[in-house]
Amino acid sequence: MFEKLEMAPADPILGLTEAFNKDPNPNKINLGVGVYKDEAGSTPIMNSVRKAEKLLVDTEKTKSYLPIPGAPAYGKVVQELVFGKGSKVMACTAQTPGGTGALRIAGEFLKKLKPNAKVWVSDPTWPNHNGVFAAAGFPVGKYAYYNPQTCSLNFDGMLASLKGMTPGDIVVLHACCHNPSGIDPTAEQWKQIAAVSKEKDLFPLIDFAYQGLGRGLEEDAEGVRILAAAVPEMIVCSSFSKNFGLYNERVGAVTLTAATQDAVDKAFSHLKITIRVIYSNPPSHGGSIVTTIMNNPELRREWETEVAEIRQRIKQMRELFVSTLKAKGVKKDFSFLTTQYGMFSFSCLSDDQVKTLKDKYGIYIVGGGRMNVAGMTKANMEPLCNAIAEVLK
């Protein structure tokens, strides 16, 4: 049976990392996968995380199973991050293996409740959204989002798409730091998105993977909080891969909201069944790190400072990239990069240019032109911009 198979295509993002790792070019630059690099080009463990891990090693008493949705203390800190301290949003949270795990659990859960709904993702979106929701059995459609002419949000197109959806459909929204474009709606636009979602009875499924990497921990939650105040029910999928640097610990969460405690409790009982038949209960270590940091004022302060440093370095790299290209006489204006948030930007480079950058210069950019700005450093900026200037000639 296996011999008869054709090779499956490589993953558009993680497959690029595999190719990058095999590339013998000593000057190669990886702007593919969304992993933060510091000025030295490494992905360090945050100091707050290291300290929390030491505390855990010293105080952990057992390796016995967690409950199906993970530790209740974890759920509380996730809700505080998402909805703010003292929020009155009625919610329940389950720990999941990463943000992808959260999305897939949400997909499986929603398929049981809304078997005839369609899932809508932004055009463009993180490529894995298509795979995750198709695997959960949904037809997946695209709503307008990006205007390639202006390299900005096509908000009128987005609203028109939302208005054209069938009541009950599921709309996947990026809470902040849109992946792959880096373009987020303003608070005013979020209010309109929330109003249309409510009016059309759409179900918002929010992918919240970059909290703190855009404008700030609270600011990045603005859209989610506007939606939570407007619609009776929604789901938020969190990831702590990026803002806690816990990529390989796979720490995420799925949070359900509803209008009443009774509705939340009932929905949560079904979510637990969804989880039980897939991975039973989550691994403990990563979630415990997040809970330890959030509940220890000193560690929390240190973590918030570390997130701010990440955010500022990304902003600096955006500015340096734009000014370096300009200094090299590149005609195309890349200043749109400085108005975008988070790790990613659409470079507006064609697939041919992306291929030449990889084959000739060892520069890895995701197909479609998504660049991980957090992979740029002062040291790689010159060779990177030289190569981009060359391919744009």
Nearest-CA neighbor of 12 among 180, 164, 149, 206? 180
Judged by CB under 6 A, the residue of 33, 90, 165, 317 near ligand LMR is: 33
Pairing mode of beta strands 119-123, 170-174: parallel
The answer to whether 247 touches 214, Cβ cutoff 8 Å, is: no
Secondary structure letter of residue 120 according to DSSP: E
- Between the alpha carbon of residue 59 and those of residues 62, 223, 383, the distances in Å are 9, 37, 48
Secondary structure letter of residue 206 according to DSSP: E
CB of 159 to ligand LMR, least distance (A): 26
Nearest residue (CB) to ligand LMR, 252 versus 282: 252
Report how far Cα 378 is from the mean position of its chain's Cα atoms: 25
Nearest-CA neighbor of 193 among 149, 238, 228, 146? 228
Query: CA-to-CA distance for 273 and 17, rounded, in angstroms?
Result: 35
Q: Which residues, 97 to 136, sit near ligand LMR by CB under 6 A?
A: 126, 128
CB of 14 to ligand LMR, least distance (A): 6
Nearest residue (CB) to ligand LMR, 33 versus 235: 33
**Catalytic annotation, residues:** 126, 207, 242
Amino acid in the structure at residue 348: C
Q: Which residues, 262 to 321, sit near ligand LMR by CB under 6 A?
A: none
Q: Which residues, 13 to 32, sit near ligand LMR by CB under 6 A?
A: 13
Query: CA-to-CA distance for 71 and 93, rounded, in angstroms?
Result: 10
CB of 393 to ligand LMR, least distance (A): 29
Judged by CB under 6 A, the residue of 125, 154, 161, 179 near ligand LMR is: 179
Q: Which residues, 241 to 260, sit near ligand LMR by CB under 6 A?
A: none
Query: CA-to-CA distance for 102 and 70, rounded, in angstroms?
Result: 13
Nearest residue (CB) to ligand LMR, 42 versus 269: 42
Q: Total binding residues for ligand LMR by CB under 6 A?
A: 6
CB of 367 to ligand LMR, least distance (A): 12
CB of 299 to ligand LMR, least distance (A): 25
CB of 10 to ligand LMR, least distance (A): 12
Query: CA-to-CA distance for 55 and 77, rounded, in angstroms?
Result: 18
Secondary structure letter of residue 180 according to DSSP: T
Q: Is 384 in the site for ligand LMR (CB under 6 A)?
A: no
Q: Give the residue at shortest CB distance from ligand LMR.
A: 34
Binding-residue pattern over the window 340 to 359 for ligand LMR, x denoting contact by CB under 6 A: --------------------
Nearest residue (CB) to ligand LMR, 257 versus 347: 347
Nearest residue (CB) to ligand LMR, 96 versus 324: 96
Query: CA-to-CA distance for 154 and 306, rounded, in angstroms?
Result: 33
Nearest residue (CB) to ligand LMR, 34 versus 362: 34
Query: CA-to-CA distance for 389 and 393, rounded, in angstroms?
Result: 6
Query: CA-to-CA distance for 127 and 231, rounded, in angstroms?
Result: 27
Residue with tokens 């079904």: 270
Query: CA-to-CA distance for 198 and 190, rounded, in angstroms?
Result: 12
CB of 242 to ligand LMR, least distance (A): 8
| Residue 345 CB coordination number (10 Å) | 27
Judged by CB under 6 A, the residue of 20, 29, 31, 34 near ligand LMR is: 34
Nearest residue (CB) to ligand LMR, 119 versus 365: 365
Structure tokens at 319: 């500015």
The residue ranges that bind ligand LMR (CB under 6 A) are: 13, 33-34, 126, 128, 179
